[in-house]
Structure 1
Amino acid sequence: MNAPAPSTPKIPEHDPEQVNIDPYSVPLDKLDVSNPYLFEADVQWSWFKRLRDEAPVHFCAESEFGPYWSITRYEDIMTVDTSHKIFSSEPAITIRDQDDDFQLPMFIAMDRPKHDVQRKTVSPTVGADALRYFEPIIRERTRDVLDNLPVGEPFNWVEKVSIELTTRMLATLFDFPYEERSKLTWWSDMTTTLPGQGMVETEDEWKQEMLGCLEYFIGLWNQRAKEPPSNDFISRLVHGEATKDMEPMEYLGNLLLLIVGGNDTTRSTMSSSVLCLDRNPEQFAEMKANPSLIPDMVSETIRWQTPLAHMRRTALEDTELGGQTIHKGDKVVMWYVSGNRDERMFDNPNDYDIHRENLRKHLSFGFGIHRCMGNRLAEMQLHTLWEEILERFDRVEVVGEPERTLSVFVKGYKGLNVILHPKT
């Protein structure tokens, strides 16, 4: 397998000043919620509330990502997410289009039957048998990370805990050289960034980074091809009947899917859980007194945070939704971040409530054939983290405001400064 040399996507130019605009002052037909600066500033909520209330199936004719439909209510999102014969995952699952010369096929952006056979090839890596194997590994690593944190002085939780734990897990899932595991974090962040937003400045630099990722993983592919099959993602792709002959860019697409899926989402909830419990001390006190509430906390954190803000579909035929006619070929964006705050589904949805009756009905894992493959592993990692935190610390105090990710897709954190208070 050899790496091709494709071109790179165009760079959208969003207006950072949009964060200062009142969405109710904007004409409804001009409302555009696709600006990543809204998410970095955490001011997107009123924009989505207006859409939910006034235009739950809303067409934006002009944006940096082209025309698109916004689906913002819970029930409508469920309809789109489970109507696979009407709404296609091809050619992409993000609002951002891929460049014609830089296509990255991946099974989450495929329809049946190809989606099913590729997903089935890799899913045992995070299946029930694998989880039983991973549980003691996750616990041992969590203890190691927590036992080596500074106590009584500020540090960045995202860097020291969330990234470290998820990167260690990724290295295991790929059987990636452990001493080089930081490459996985770098490539994950690179996948979801845009040139000029801090990591690379130009399209050519972005292209070279992606091709460098592919070149490295081609080396691992060739290595696995000489070895007996094992339960890591690369080995399963190499030896899978449906995947062993895939083209390099399809290999890269699936790699990036698995890297981002196993990294960004879990690390976002690890960080968010600290922020939520610090801001809701009465609920933290309840959980400390009754650790059986940890699973409820995990689900509510995943709902409240919504680590992937959206998923995109493409209409396969003319159809009607919410009284609006969506035409064949239209881009349809399911805003999970809005559906998880829909007042029609969740009482007081902006509140963080670990006693919420329907907290497990969140949209964050998706529904239908594309439901998150590693959701149980993500929940296990977060559950284990808080079991071990409660064993060691009286409080994880957040210091200052979090630094959020500049992205319209990955809803996460770059910085969250905390101080650990030991148990007395």
Structure 2
Amino acid sequence: MERLRLVLEHLPDEALMAHLEKSRGHGRDDYPVRAMWNSMLAGIVFQHPSIESLRRELSRNGQLRSICGLRAVPSAAAYTRFLRSLMEHGSWIESMFDELVKALSEELPDFGRRLAMDSKAIASWASRPSKEKKEDGRRDLDAAYGVKTYRGTREDGSTWEKVVRWFGYKLHLVVDAQHELPVAYTVTKGSRSDVKEGHVLLDELEKRQPEMLKKAEVLTADRGYDDSKLLSRCWDEYGIKPVIDTRRLWKDGEQTRLLPGHTNVVYDEGGAVYCYCPETGARQQMSNGGFEKDRGTLKKVCPAKAYGITCQGREQCPVAGGVRVALAVDRRIFTPIARESYKWAKEYRYRTAVERVNSRLDVSFGFERHTIRGLAKMRLRCGLALCVMLAMALGRVREKQQERMRSLVRSVS
């Protein structure tokens, strides 16, 4: 019961409860709003896959009924009406989420400094589109087919590819990569593009969490978000350094391109810059010399100077003193943190924070096995799960148990 206590004590739900109670007016109060709400939260905390599962637990567990404030187990119809009411008040759930993010920002000075973005596939309870288009509360008329392709390189240099297909939805997330907690989210059909929704997530942060955007230093994401407009926007509008992997988009076997303004300097799609010795024609990768913010350029240092190697044409080489590569040469490839640098690789590892948040949603919040149909229900369920996750974390921080902040299953003794 410790986890439920943390959520009930630290979730900022007073405004929503007051509004729902006012909306009910002088109608029947067999099952008080607060008690229904508490039992819904209990269903999420204790991973009940359906309302019927929750009702069975309430029926046998008198202690849980007492904590929720229920004298009797609500009927299935009562839960249906309550869920419908919550779906009509989705903006209140979003506001509650925003309050939790701000509260954590106040408790954790570095919260929001490192951000990571990704999407999560969530299959609908329905297995395929319905031929009937009339809404009856059982069919899923909102879900769509989604595809995600994962590619990588093995240690032996060979490549691998994994294609995941599903019928349902996508949960798009921005998380704090240091503390592995969500800071922004949207829920869409499974067919929605990650890049397009990436811009929406930035819009949401700008509107709802502007202080976090000012604090953020780095945003990591996989190659699904490789888009020159998104990368440019991160740096130009918010001063956030994007660390986003590149897709291989160059065609016809093109391996390198000539750096504008130079005759013996080329770059590849991974952001590495090479110079050719004017005497022997040998190619060497140039060393990183840092980023010049005022110029918007990356400094590249002569490899002979940086590594002490012998270069027969150094005396007549036009780039012996190094070169400056403007980000504007190719905003998709050149970013404030050089792609081939150790720092870029170190920052990119923080991207896995989103994967761990997604795993907790599956394992600790029941998204691996659920009975959700419809976009409105999915948005509500995702919003509630993320609020519960943040409320638990906030409770543990406030109760001086920060080391257990990410723990969603075991209670704290």
TM exceeding 0.5? no
Q: Please state which band the TM-score falls in when normalised by the shorter chain.
A: under 0.3
Structure ranking higher in strand proportion? 2
Higher helix fraction (1 or 2): 1
Q: TM-score, with normalisation over the residues of structure 1?
A: 0.27
| TM norm structure 2 | 0.27
